[in-house]
Structure 1
C-alpha cells in the first residue's frame, strides 16, 4: 500500500469534510496530526469541525494554534472570529475579521462577518459599508444581500429591504432562511394585503416544503389513552427574549400527570434565562448544531405526540424540521404575526 504524504492525506480529509462526511473528516485530520502534530491546515479544520459540533473551547484552542502556526492565513483569522462570536465575544471576533481583511482585502466572507458584528453593535453605517463591500467583491454571494436587507428593514427602508431579500433568493433559491426573511419583512409593507401575504407564504412552502413531503414516514406513537402526552417545543429563543418570558408560565402550569414537556433549544449562546427555561421542562435537548433532518430524527426518536413551533418565519426557525413531519400533530404558536 502506498503511504500518503501529509498533504495528500489532507486532500482526502478535505474531500470528506466538503461532502459532509464529518466523522471521516475528523478521523483523517486526527491521523494526520498523529504523524505531524503541527500540520496547521488539519488543526484549523479540526477546529472548524469542533465549532460545527458546538465544542467551542476545543474549537478555540485548535484554531488559535493553527493561526499561530499560519499567521498569514486569512481563513484562520476569519474562522477564529466565528468561534469568538459563538462564545459571545464580539470585540475579539471583530479583531479577527479585521485581521483577516488586512491579510486579504478581497475576502468577501470576512467583510460580511465583520458587518454582522457591527450591525449587532448598532453601528449601522459601518455595517452597511461592509455588506456592500462583500457584495462588490462577490456579486453571487447571497448572505450579504440578506444581511443588508435586515439592516435596511431595521431602518424602516422596507422597499429597499425587500429588493435585497429578493436578490438573495435569486442567488440562493435553496436557502429557506433567506426566503423567510422576505416573508417577515412583507408584513411591514402597507401595500401587501392578507391575500398577498398568503400567496407569498404558499410560494415558500411550494419551494421548500413540497420537496420533503415524500420522505415523511408513519409515526410509531403508542395509542395508549392512559399514558402521558409528550409535547415538544422548538425555539431559538430560550434565552433573554420575549418568547422565553411568554412560555415560562405555560411550562410551569403543564399538568405533569398528563403531559411530559420536551424543549428543543436552538440557542447558540445560552444565558441565565436559558437555565431557567431548562429547569421548567422534563427533557432538554440542545440542538443548535444539528441539521433540520437530524433534529427531525431526534424528535421522532423521542416519540413526541405534539410538536410546537415557536418561531415560524422569524430568525433561526426550524420549519424544515416541521416539513419532515416528525410528530403526528404539529402546531405553530407565538412569535409570528400571521398565517
Structure 2
C-alpha cells in the first residue's frame, strides 16, 4: 500500500501531504486518506486547507468522528472556541469511548474559563472503561486527562 510509510509516521508532513493528494486523485472520496491529509495540513499550520478537507469528509459522512474531532482542533487554532466545544460534544455523542476527545473538550472549556465543566469532562473521560481491544494509546490518553486534572487543581 502506498500509505504504509505515512501511517507509521516515517515521512515528514510535507511529503505525506503530497502522497495523500496523489492517493486522492485515484480515490477522492477516501475518508481515511482525506482525514490524514487534513491532520498533516493542520500540523503544518495550514488551517484553512485542513478545514476544507475535514468539511469535505463531513459532506460525505456527517458523522465521521475523526473529521469532527479534528475540525474541533482547527477551530481552537482559529480562535473559534465555542464552535470547537460544539464539535467536541458532537464527537463525544458519536464516539463516547474515545478518551482524547474528552481531553480536547476539557482544554477548550478551561480556555473559556468554564473550570467546573472542564473538571467534569476530564473526570468523565477518566471514568470510562477501556474497550476490550486498545491500540496502545489508552494509557497515554488517560495520563493526559490525569495531568489536565492535576494542572487545573493547582490553578484553583
Contact preservation (8 Å) 1:43, 1:65: no
Residue correspondence of structure 1 range 235-314 to structure 2 within 5 A = none
Residue 200 (structure 1) aligns with: none
2:61 to 104, 107, 110: 104
Contact preservation (8 Å) 1:158, 1:188: no
Larger of the two Rg values belongs to structure:
1
Question: How many Å separate the matches in 2 of 1:44 and 1:103?
Answer: 22
Question: Which consecutive residues of structure 2, in runs of 5 or more, have no partner in the other structure?
Answer: 131-137
Contact preservation (8 Å) 2:103, 2:144: no
Question: How many Å separate the matches in 2 of 1:92 and 1:103?
Answer: 17
Q: Is residue 140 of structure 1 aligned with residue 97 of structure 2?
A: yes
Quote the offset at 1:59 in angstroms: 0.8
Quote the offset at 1:160 in angstroms: 0.7
Q: Is residue 174 of structure 1 aligned with residue 139 of structure 2?
A: yes
Runs of 4+ in 1 over 6 A off after TM superposition: none
Q: Is residue 188 of structure 1 aligned with residue 145 of structure 2?
A: no
Greater relative contact order (Cα < 8 A, sep 6+): 2
Cα deviation 1:273-305 (Å, max 9, x = unaligned):
xxxxxxxxxxxxxxxxxxxxxxxxxxxxxxxxx
Residue 328 (structure 1) aligns with: none
Residue 133 (structure 2) aligns with: none
> TM-score, normalising length from structure 2?
0.85
Residue 325 (structure 1) aligns with: none
> TM-score, normalising length from structure 1?
0.41
Residue 159 (structure 1) aligns with: 116
Question: Which consecutive residues of structure 1, in runs of 5 or more, have no partner in the other structure?
Answer: 1-41, 190-339
What SS class does the counterpart of residue 3 from structure 2 fall into?
A: helix
Cα deviation 1:240-299 (Å, max 9, x = unaligned):
xxxxxxxxxxxxxxxxxxxxxxxxxxxxxxxxxxxxxxxxxxxxxxxxxxxxxxxxxxxx
> Which structure shows the bigger proportion of residues in strand conformation?
1
Cα deviation 1:202-223 (Å, max 9, x = unaligned):
xxxxxxxxxxxxxxxxxxxxxx
What SS class does the counterpart of residue 46 from structure 1 fall into?
A: helix
Residue correspondence of structure 1 range 42-61 to structure 2 within 5 A = 42-49=1-8, 52-53=9-10, 55-61=12-18
- Aligned-CA RMSD value: 1.6
Question: How many Å separate the matches in 1 of 2:7 and 2:24?
Answer: 12
